[in-house]
Amino acid sequence: MGKSLDKKFGRFLRQRRGDDSYAVFARKIGISASTLYRLETGEQSVTLGKMGDILKRLKAGVRDVFPE
């Protein structure tokens, strides 16, 4: 189940990134471009604290990532 949640968060980030480059979007959300890539591909998990920080910067909530 953990990997499934990682993938959902990764898809959410990819969708929100839109046409921004990894570098530009990563700067917006306060992480490195390499971390953003790993999060988008589900290769890296995110802590709840870091997810909260990212969602706050995106003005989004947990329900935007996990609607069900």
Q: pLDDT digits over 39-55, tens only?
A: 999 999 999 999 999 99
pLDDT given at position 34: 97
Tell me how far apart the alpha carbons of residues 56 and 6 are, in angstroms, rounded to a whole number.
Answer: 18
Which pLDDT tens digit goes with each residue over 8-40? Answer: 999 999 999 999 999 999 999 999 999 999 999
How far is Cα 46 from Cα 44, in angstroms, rounded to an integer?
A: 7
Q: Is the pTM of this model over 0.85?
A: yes
- HSE-up (13 A, CA, CB side) for residue 37: 6
Burial (Cβ within 10 Å: 0-12, 13-18, ≥19) of residue 65: buried
Domains and their CATH numbers in the chain? 2-59 (1.10.260.40)
Q: Is the pLDDT of residue 68 over 80?
A: no
